[in-house]
Amino acid sequence: MISTPDLRSRSVLALLLVAASACAQEPTWQAPPKLVVGVVVDQMRTDYIYRYWDNFGEGGFKRLIREGSFQRDARYNYAPTHTGPGHASIYTGTTPRDHGIVANDMFFRADGRWVNCVQDDNVMGVGGNGPKSKRSPVNLYASTIADELERRFDGRSRTIGVSMKDRSAILPIGRTGDAAFWFFEEAAGQFGTSTWYTDSLPAWLKAFNARDRANEHLSKMWEPLLPRERYHEVLPDDNPYEELLPGEVKAMLPLDVPKAFAASGGNMELMKLIPGSLVITTDLALAALDGEGMGTDAITDLLAISYSATDEIGHATGPRSIEVEDMYLRLDRELERLLTELDRRIGKDGYTLFLTADHGAVDVPAWLASEKASAGYVESTALVNAVETALTERYGAGPWVRKRVKEQFFLSDSLLAARRVDRAEAQRIAAEALRMVPGIAEAYTATELRGADLSNDRAAMVQRGFFQERSGDVCFILRPSHLTAWPGMPRMGTEHGSPWSYDTQVPVIFFGRGVAKGEVLRPTAITDVAATVCALVGMAPPDASIGQVVPEVLAR
């Protein structure tokens, strides 16, 4: 007969064994997803999810949010907020101050070159020629998720980027990723790459191009997806705040795409404005998935997808248009198709997907002003004249402005040297002059931005977006809901680039393997995306990453 102390000893021993077994369980990152899918939606504001929710289907945005982790107050922590910097920041986990992509088109002060952020004159196009062919990640100065994934798995990962836009396909894949494929308008609507990655197109992409999908979509009318009364019409479809597409009399749906294409002279750029752009992007992503054999083994792969049509139509018609809502409803259906195919090909527990955006957009200032909101336009000539006048009064006749790039001024290096002008003083005078222009919220000098970290929130955001070799002598911020205008510019459509919430607040959604369901209501930063992905996979963050892991996302 066993005594009571013996029973107690055995019970304690059993508990210790259970505890030891629990402690011995392998960490979650020992079984990472077979595939990470990054989805970036160009020009998506978080509030679009709230506004369009009732018109979304069950398998797209609603599925991602109900089954995933939705960060409802994620923001960009720098300015300027543009496509190139956005994609670079998502995947590097840092800001332009470190990765060097400060704008879509950058001015290099040292040699006076004006270059696209992914321009590389030392490479050639593969699958097409023209200006869009000389592209690579050569201007990116920090590693990305793709780079670190290649290092984590000893170069065995497949890392592929696809998009209509060159920069949106290239920057996520970094400098050592496998390949990026983008749309070549000059090559009759084919997708291609550059010699940075390969000397010939893969067989699967040649087969994809042979289907001539672009012309197929350009031959179809753009009809509203839903009955007219279902749309959220803050503005009527026929309003004076939307740009006309080629051949249009009124900017409204339905759009006669074949007529517009003919009126444009057969310009394939139109492809980026129509819903077929979303479809062909998903098609390309799925073709790459199969053609590259992604997600088929235990080595984690990365498929970076960027949807561009949302940005192109947003610029033309503004955030309140029926065209924009219709585009998002169609994107919702593309996301459902993408998820369904990932479930089928990889398995529901085989992949992790994150979705975010590269920036938002402001409501059309002309419309806001008509509603008596604080909004408007600042004439670019007034800005240049203010700087020229102030510096001329102090140092003599100019021209003192060498270049104005968006919200930045580059001063004339040669004139500053010839007049022996102290650059810091000239910057200060120019900034003071800009502050006096109505519609300007603040201006900062390069000297200030190169100094110690600035404590003011907006100043710190501008500082994080400042890169000495590629940024101006003076950077300025417009007041909320204001845009810069040039002579003759129509007061239609929208733009982005500011530090205000309509440009900086974007959705961040994680979904799939290793992700805990729920909402994250505390503030998070766009630079946290890369850190969180790396924690899920179990690898080092990108080399310049400043982001933090969002612990609420991780299933434990």
Contacts of 382 (CB under 8 A, 6+ apart): 437
> Strand 474-478 to strand 440-445: parallel, antiparallel, or no bridges (unpaired)?
antiparallel
Catalytic residue among 46, 83, 92, 300: 83
Q: What is the phi-psi region of residue 439: left when phi exceeds 0, alpha when psi lies from -120 to 50, beta otherwise?
A: left
- Do 38 and 309 meet the contact criterion of CB atoms below 8 Å apart? no
Measuring CA to CA, which residue among 198, 187, 188, 65 is closest to residue 128? 187
8 Å CB contact between 387 and 435: no
Residue burial 267-294, b: 16+ Cβ < 10 Å; e: rest = ebebbbbbbbbbbbbbbbbbbbbebbeb
The type of residue at 136 is: S
- Chain-centre distance of CA 228, in angstroms? 30
| 3 state SS for 230-296 | HCCCCCCCCCCCCCCCCCCCCCCCCECHHHHHHHCCCCHHHHHHCCHHHHHHHHHHHHHHHHCCCCC
Catalytic-residue membership of 193: no
Is the distance from CB of 191 to CB of 205 less than 8 angstroms? yes
In three-state secondary structure terms, 343 is helix
Question: And the tokens for 257?
Answer: 């795409």
Terminal C-alpha separation, the chain: 44
Using CA atoms, how far apart are residues 42 and 31, in angstroms rounded to an integer? 32
- 38: closest CA among 281, 269, 305? 305
Contact 184, 190 (CB under 8 A): yes
Distance, in Å, from the CA atom of 550 to the CA atom of 527, rounded to the nearest integer, reads 11
Distance from C-alpha of 86 to C-alpha of 172, rounded to nearest angstrom: 10
Angle, helices 309-317/322-345, rounded to nearest 10 degrees: 170
* Token pair 């998002």 in the structure block, residue: 328
Tell me how crowded residue 15 is: count the other CB atoms within 10 A of its CB.
10
- Active-site positions read 83
